[in-house]
Every structure is written in C-alpha cells, then in structure tokens.
Chain A
Amino acid sequence: MIEKDKLYSIWVYLQAEPLFWLTLTIGSYLVGDYLYKKSKLFPLVNPVAISILIISLVLINLDISYERYFDGAKFIHFMLGPATVALAIPIYKQFKLIQKEALCISVSLVIGSLFAIISTFALCEIFKIDDQVLFNWRNPIANCNHNNFNWNYGCILWNFCFRFFKIKRYVSTWFWTWTCIAWNWNCTSDE
C-alpha cells in the first residue's frame, strides 16, 4: 500500500502545478487534431470540441475546480492577444484584395455584426430567457479571462455555411479574420 500512497502524493504535487494542465490541454488538442485529420476534415469532428470534451471529463471526474485548471492553462490563453496581433499578417498579405472589395466587406460585416447582437437578444426575448441567467453564466468565466470567450462559437458552422453558400475559398480567409475582430469588439463593448 505504500506504493499507492506514493502515487497519490505525486498526483497531489502535480495537480497543483501549471505543467500538468498545460500538458493535458496540448495533448488533448493533439488527439482532437489527429481525429480531425483521420475523419478527412469532417467539420463536426472539431479538434477544439474534442479537446474541450476530454479536459472537462478529466476535471469533472477528478473533481478539480475550473479556477485551478485555468491557473495552468492561462499561459495558453495568454497567447490569444499576440495571436490577434498576428492576424495583421493575413490582412497584410491579402491587402490588395481587401482594398479592391473594401465596400462590400465593410457593409456586410457591419450589418452582419449588428444583426448578430440584435438577433440574439430578440431570440432571448422570444424564448423568455432572463438576461441575468446569461450574465451569471458568463461572469465566472469572463472574470478569469478578459471577456472574449464567445469569440468563435460558430467555428463548426462556418465550414457548413461556406459550403452551403458556395463562397469562394479566398474570400473566406479574410472574411473570417474580420468577423473575429468584429465579434471580439461586440463582446468587450458591454464590459
């Protein structure tokens, strides 16, 4: 039984450190990525969804609080800022194209993001969801990580929609970039 005690003490030591949670996050993402490639890039086998599923199952089964997990995973989360800055590069590379189609991008994106806000609030009214419930859900997460959590909830739907509406591939690249920025703005504007 000494062996078991020893293993337990190792676990107690490891779960208090960020390293374990970082390794778990990256590892589960790699599993998700592997499955995604195995499924020949089928949109529903989303690597993010799979890794979230794996990590949540681990956290729930081991009875670990989200705050403890996030204390380790915050290093990955931190990279979101630099990654946003790095989005300047695809825009820079496609700048000629963006200039050429500036009118249609700006009009459709402004209307699109306004519609996103309005339709969500309208649907909440129709389904009779109390605003307070949504804020209760959002706040503990937002407190940990600066408010941009619903940045890309539509990741899976994107692939379907683009196939459905037969949008050209190259259009989707910067289209996606700007929508990210617009959504990020929406989320932070009601701080």
Chain B
Amino acid sequence: MLRAIFVIFFFQLLGEALKKFFEMRIPGPVIGLILLLITLIFLKRFKTTIVNKLRNDVLNTSNYILSYLSLLFVPIGVGVVMHLSYLENNLFKVLVIVFISTILTIGLTAFLMEKINKRINKK
C-alpha cells in the first residue's frame, strides 16, 4: 500500500516537474498518468517477483482510490454551491445551458462512436 502510494505520488511529481520544465499546458497529473501507463506497459516484459509484487500493489491501490473518485469532487462541488450568488440572476439560464450542452455533447460523442464503430466492423 505505502509503496504503491509512493509510486503514484512520484509519477504525479514527475508530471508536475515536466509540466513546469517544458511550460506545457497539460495538467501535471495527466502527464503522470501517461508516464505511469508507459511504465506499466514497458514493465510487462519483466516477470521477476519484485516487479510483479509492486505492480499488483499499484493496481490494487489505484482501484481502491478510484472506487472513491466521486468523493474527491465534493469539496469543489460545495464551492460551486456556496458561490452561486456570483451568478446574480443568471442561475436558471446557466443551469439550462449546462443541461443542454452536456446532453448534446454526450449524445453527439456517443453517436459518433457508434457510427464509426459500425463502419469499421462492416469492413
């Protein structure tokens, strides 16, 4: 557990450092994610016990963190609710906009996915 947490934090640290170094606009954790993914795929070839142990540890701990992913959004969500007064009298409009654009976006993306998938499978 502790080793896995170290690995995950280390990759995030690496990501943040790279982001600052190259002045990238991609968030640090996302760079860390990509690095961790590459490392995991690279380590697939090594089948020693230490690597296997560490990998299983990272997989289990990550699954544990991800099972509570939505809890991590609560503090931000409270912020959104507590600052609603900044919207003045636009609250209803914003709700409608968020609703419409979310439905349209998810719908369009899912639609595209299905269409492209079908076309590929036909070939």
Q: Given A157-B106, A167-B113, are A84 and B29 neighbors across the interface (CB < 8 Å)?
A: yes
Q: Given A66-B82, A111-B108, are A129 and B90 neighbors across the interface (CB < 8 Å)?
A: yes
Q: Given A129-B97, A153-B98, are A136 and B86 neighbors across the interface (CB < 8 Å)?
A: yes
Contact with B along A128-143 (1 / 0, CB 8 A): 0100011011001100
Bound state CA distance, A167 and B41, in angstroms?
Answer: 28
Bound state CA distance, A55 and B94, in angstroms?
Answer: 22
Write 29 A-B pairs (CB below 8 A) sorted by A numbering: A55-B74, A59-B78, A60-B82, A69-B82, A79-B65, A85-B36, A86-B61, A88-B40, A89-B63, A108-B109, A108-B113, A108-B116, A112-B112, A113-B105, A129-B90, A129-B97, A133-B87, A137-B84, A140-B83, A141-B76, A141-B83, A155-B70, A161-B110, A165-B111, A167-B114, A184-B30, A185-B25, A185-B26, A185-B30
User: Least Cβ distance of B116 to chain A in Å?
Assistant: 4
Find residues 75-104 in chain B having any chain A CB closer than 8 Å to their own CB: 75-84, 86-88, 90, 93-94, 96-104
Q: Is the CB of B70 within 8 A of A153?
A: no
Contact with A along B48-79 (1 / 0, CB 8 A): 00000000001101110110011111111111
A19: interface (CB < 8 Å)? no
- Complex interface: chain A residues within 8 A of B96 (CB): 127
User: Least Cβ distance of A162 to chain B in Å?
Assistant: 7
User: Least Cβ distance of A57 to chain B in Å?
Assistant: 10
User: Least Cβ distance of B118 to chain A in Å?
Assistant: 9
Count contacts on B: residues with CB < 8 A to the other chain: 70
Q: Is the CB of B40 within 8 A of A181?
A: no
User: Least Cβ distance of A102 to chain B in Å?
Assistant: 11
Contact with A along B5-43 (1 / 0, CB 8 A): 100110110010000000001111110111011001100
Bound state CA distance, A47 and B63, in angstroms?
Answer: 19
Selected contact of B100 from candidates A60, A70, A101, A123, CB within 8 Å? A123
- Complex interface: chain B residues within 8 A of A113 (CB): 105
